[in-house]
Homo-oligomer: A and B are copies of this chain.
Amino acid sequence: MKDWIWTRERKAAPARETLSRDQIVAAAMAILDTEGVSGLSMRKLGTKLGSGATSLYWYVDTKDDLVDLLIDEVWGEIDVPEPELAGWRAGALLFGHSLRSAVLRHPWLPEVMYTRPSIGPNAMSMGSRGLVLFGAAGFSEHEIDLAMGSVMSYVLGTVSAEVATREMVRKSGRSEENWVTDILEQAQAVAGDYPEMQKSVRRRTSMDLDSGLTENFVFGLDALLDGLQARVKK
């Protein structure tokens, strides 16, 4: 069995002034958040911490392991309300928004999230609290899994696409109020043969980026929750 990083304990005594896994994770997170996945290299991370690149390998077996830690760090930021506070429906809404904003704070996540299982402690804690929340809705045991899974998939899928949009607008350097970027111009050009698409692109770009994306997110989440609610104790 693979020696997963979650259960491999830290190597005992501190001794002299030294690096630490927490320190490494924090520095790597800062790099990822500002420069993205392609900006994170072991050498750069090393110099940022004032150490050699290969020193990091004392705390982390591979770069992938480090990324696993970073992903779980994000899951630790998610807020899952207890159902007693406002009921499952409002709780699920809050959960969705919390998940969304965490990903928006860490826009590198979609790029790496889908290539590995999320089985760190924070992921487990989040999942556990999520199950309690959806359990309060009155689903059968089996449906609890399905309902929570579909909400998470919807949220992550939507926000992943959202991140891609935001990133491309950001890179284009145009204003966010009128975000007709190079990409959209290109899309318009290619969409020339498809009038429905042409119109849709125009509709989207005519509105404020932020509120448009938020509305988009809420619309689908509400619809999904409606559909789930109708399935309770059928």
Contacts and interface: CB of A to CB of B under 8 A. Distances in A.
Given A197-B124, A197-B131, A227-B224, A216 B2 contact: no
A62 to B, nearest CB: 13
Interface stretch (A16-24, A26-34, A43-51, A180-188): A180-188
Identical chains in the assembly? 2
Contact of A194 (B124, B156, B161, B164): B124
A121 interface: yes
Interface string A185-212: 1110111011111011001100000000
Contacts of A167: 115
A225 interface: yes
A124 B190 contact: yes
A146 B224 contact: no
Contacts of A116: 164, 168
Nearest to A116: B164
Nearest to A149: B216
Given A114-B111, A149-B216, A197 B128 contact: yes
B203 A142 contact: yes
Contacts of A153: 154, 157-158, 160-161, 220
Contacts of A121: 190, 193
Contacts of A191: 119, 124, 127-128
B127 A200 contact: yes
A32 to B, nearest CB: 14
A223 B220 CA distance: 11
A187 B219 contact: no
Interface of A: 1-2, 4, 6-7, 110-111, 114-117, 119-121, 124-125, 127-128, 131-132, 135, 141-147, 149-158, 160-161, 163-165, 167-168, 182-183, 185-187, 189-191, 193-197, 199-200, 203-204, 215-216, 219-220, 222-228, 230-231
Given A124-B194, A153-B160, A226-B226, 11 more contacts: A2-B186, A7-B186, A119-B190, A127-B194, A132-B196, A146-B220, A150-B216, A150-B224, A154-B154, A160-B160, A224-B227
